[in-house]
Amino acid sequence: MKTLNEAIRSELNKIGLSDAVEIRYNLNKAELITQAVLDGEGVLSDSGALVVNTSPFTGRSPNDKYLINNGDPDLWYASGTESLTDKQFANLQAKLLKKMNTERLYVRDVYAGADPANTARVRVITDLAWQSLAASNMFIESDSDEPHVDPDFTLLVSSQFSADPQADSLRSPAMVILNFDAKQVLIGNTRYAGEIKKSVFTFMNYLLPKKGVLPLHCSANKGHDGSVALFFGLSGTGKTTLSSDPERALIGDDEHGWSETGMFNFEGGCYAKTIRINPNYEPLVWSAINRFGCLIENVPLDENHHPDFDSSEITENTRASYPLEFISNYEPSGMGGHPNHIFFLTADAFGVMPPLAKLSNAQAMYYFLSGYTSKLAGTERGLGDKPQATFSTCFGAPFLPLKPTVYAELLSKKLTQHGTQVWLLNTGWSGGAFGTGKRISLPLTRAMISAVLSGELDQTPTHTHPIFGVEIPDDVPGVPQEVLNPERSWSDQDAYQEEASSLAKQFARNFEKYRDSVSPSVAEAGPKTD
């Protein structure tokens, strides 16, 4: 019988890590944090969280992502993603392994997918202790000390490896390369932990639809009665905040699958955006990020090692990862039934979209394929002084390796099968665009969600928005009429109509690429441009 170390060595030998200097396998959080501090990878905050700086990469690098073309006719390359050949992959794999064989390595065997019928065995190999902590926080830990034999896919992560752009035909020294046939991901020259998380998500997005399971970029929670709600949205729209509800159990905050039996979380943790977090409005998340075992990325510390969560000195994209059990009311199984309600979140910085609206199934398909939110002036270089509309297909385009219609058709089928109601929820601005209007307050947004989930709006009359065509409830308890009806919140009605019409035209231009691949009812379900 092989010892554990021998078993691990044997598995690593299969992929070319036969000469690794030292292997640290499935260290616990205390061991990883201690090692990270000793090696100068990070420091402890005054609350005990490990704080690291991932500069110069403080977010994903979409222009450094590559897929190996395996001939799958449904393979799709999101904006910025390029194709590489098997030969290019083999060359880069050899170079990366050569570098990793000179390092101390941290090996972590975890799972993606809480549903035993749809789980994947994942091996994450890193050269940094804190990245192994990130994997420990983010994915589902094994109950056994036995290593995975022939894992479903392996991530090889080397912060020290730099590709040669000219020789390797890459766009920079950094790389995130996914090879579905080889069951491997190569990550080099970036320390940002989101690349690990999203690579696992991308793999699941490839594997599950082939089994009839719909992977979704959303958070999920469930009530005491077992009712399930999903929250779709791009970064900054409020997925994590709104799903962390003290009155409902958190299933997961970012990535889920919808199977024949219901919803299941891909992950065992949360990766929360922390910029300007308010402990009064987000007490559950605040408590989770201020304790030992949490990993904080790119948040400055003062002289007393107190994190300044209001600071964007390093980046606007400050993050914290922590296990789900750090949330007091999480769902231990990571599973729930079929969703009763789905919320599409958008942070509309133009201030024209209704804060709450009911969607037909055709409209749900349209807005799902559109994946709209907006970027704010001043948050990124080159945005100028006006917000910019952002469309990310299925609310997660960078992580979709298959054609968007694959996911949309699966969603349409499940909405019809289970009678799920879809809502559009604007967490952005009212009374004018960013800079003039005010952001819709979190308490008002929570009041709208609560009214939906409690059934208070089941019999409430609605009226149709003249431009966006969605159904707006005539009344929501605790929400002023001028908030519910965005045009009423503007002092200049003509200016509202002009801005709303402008956004409608941007929707139409974006949807042209899908028009020929969807039904006429979906194609005509978008905003009116006449």
pLDDT at 3 (0 to 100): 60
Is residue 291 part of the annotated active site? The answer reads no
Residue 321 domain-assigned (yes or no): yes
Is residue 198 part of the annotated active site? The answer reads yes
Contacts of residue 487, Cβ cutoff 8 Å, sequence gap at least 6: 493, 496, 497, 500
Check 239, 256, 358, 465 and give the catalytic one. 239
CB 215 within 8 A of CB 255: yes
- Residues 346 and 304 placed together within one structural domain of the fold: no
Mean pLDDT, rounded, for 194-211: 96
Q: What percent of the chain has pLDDT over 90?
A: 87
Number of other CB atoms surrounding residue 18 within 10 Å: 12
- Residues 313 and 364 placed together within one structural domain of the fold: no
Residue 289's CATH number? 2.170.8.10
Residue 317 domain-assigned (yes or no): yes
Residue 244 domain-assigned (yes or no): no
- Residues 360 and 284 placed together within one structural domain of the fold: no
Could you tell me where the DSSP H helices lie in 159-193? 165-168
Residue 469's CATH number? 3.90.228.20
Check 64, 253, 254, 348 and give the catalytic one. 254
Selection from 122, 195, 198 nearest residue 157 by Cα = 195
- Residues 198 and 313 placed together within one structural domain of the fold: no
pLDDT at 404 (0 to 100): 95
Is residue 338 part of the annotated active site? The answer reads no
Output Rg (C-alpha) for the chain, integer angstroms: 23
Domain count, the chain: 3
- Residues 285 and 415 placed together within one structural domain of the fold: no
Is residue 248 part of the annotated active site? The answer reads no
Residue 68 domain-assigned (yes or no): yes
CB 112 within 8 A of CB 262: no
Task: Identify the burial level of 275 via C-beta atoms within 10 angstroms of its C-beta, where 0-12 means exposed, 13-18 middle and 19 or more buried.
Answer: middle
- Residues 322 and 345 placed together within one structural domain of the fold: no
Check 60, 108, 148, 375 and give the catalytic one. 60
Q: pLDDT, tens digit, for every residue of 40-82?
A: 999 999 999 999 999 999 999 989 999 999 999 999 998 889 9
- Residues 437 and 498 placed together within one structural domain of the fold: yes
Residue 501 domain-assigned (yes or no): yes
- Residues 13 and 149 placed together within one structural domain of the fold: yes
Q: pLDDT, tens digit, for every residue of 5-18?
A: 788 888 899 999 98
Q: pLDDT, tens digit, for every residue of 250-304?
A: 999 999 999 999 999 999 999 999 999 999 989 999 999 999 999 999 999 999 9
Residue 21 domain-assigned (yes or no): yes
Higher pLDDT, 29 or 238: 29
- Residues 359 and 447 placed together within one structural domain of the fold: yes
Residue 100 domain-assigned (yes or no): yes
Please say which residue of 326, 358, 392 terminates a domain: 326
Is residue 403 part of the annotated active site? The answer reads no
Is residue 494 part of the annotated active site? The answer reads no
- Residues 153 and 21 placed together within one structural domain of the fold: yes
Domain that holds residue 91: 4-211
Burial profile 294-314: b = 16 or more Cβ within 10 angstroms, e = fewer: bbbbbbbbeeeeebebebbee
pLDDT at 8 (0 to 100): 85
> Residue 174 and residue 65: Cα distance in Å, rounded?
9
Is residue 235 part of the annotated active site? The answer reads yes
Residue 204's CATH number? 3.40.449.10
pLDDT at 384 (0 to 100): 46
Q: pLDDT, tens digit, for every residue of 367-405?
A: 999 999 987 643 343 444 567 889 999 999 999 999 999
Residue 409 domain-assigned (yes or no): yes
The answer on pLDDT for 420 being more than 60 is yes
In this prediction the pTM is 0.93
- Residues 159 and 92 placed together within one structural domain of the fold: yes
Contacts of residue 395, Cβ cutoff 8 Å, sequence gap at least 6: 217, 218, 232, 233, 234, 344, 368, 371
Check 65, 148, 319, 414 and give the catalytic one. 319
> Residue 344 and residue 362: Cα distance in Å, rounded?
14
> Residue 330 and residue 248: Cα distance in Å, rounded?
8
- Residues 364 and 445 placed together within one structural domain of the fold: yes
Check 240, 274, 346, 420 and give the catalytic one. 240
Q: pLDDT, tens digit, for every residue of 100-147?
A: 999 999 999 999 999 999 999 999 999 999 999 999 999 999 887 788
Selection from 323, 256, 319 nearest residue 110 by Cα = 323
Please say which residue of 280, 296, 326 terminates a domain: 326
Is residue 392 part of the annotated active site? The answer reads no
Q: pLDDT, tens digit, for every residue of 143-159?
A: 877 888 899 999 999 99
If you average pLDDT over every residue of the chain, what do you get?
A: 93
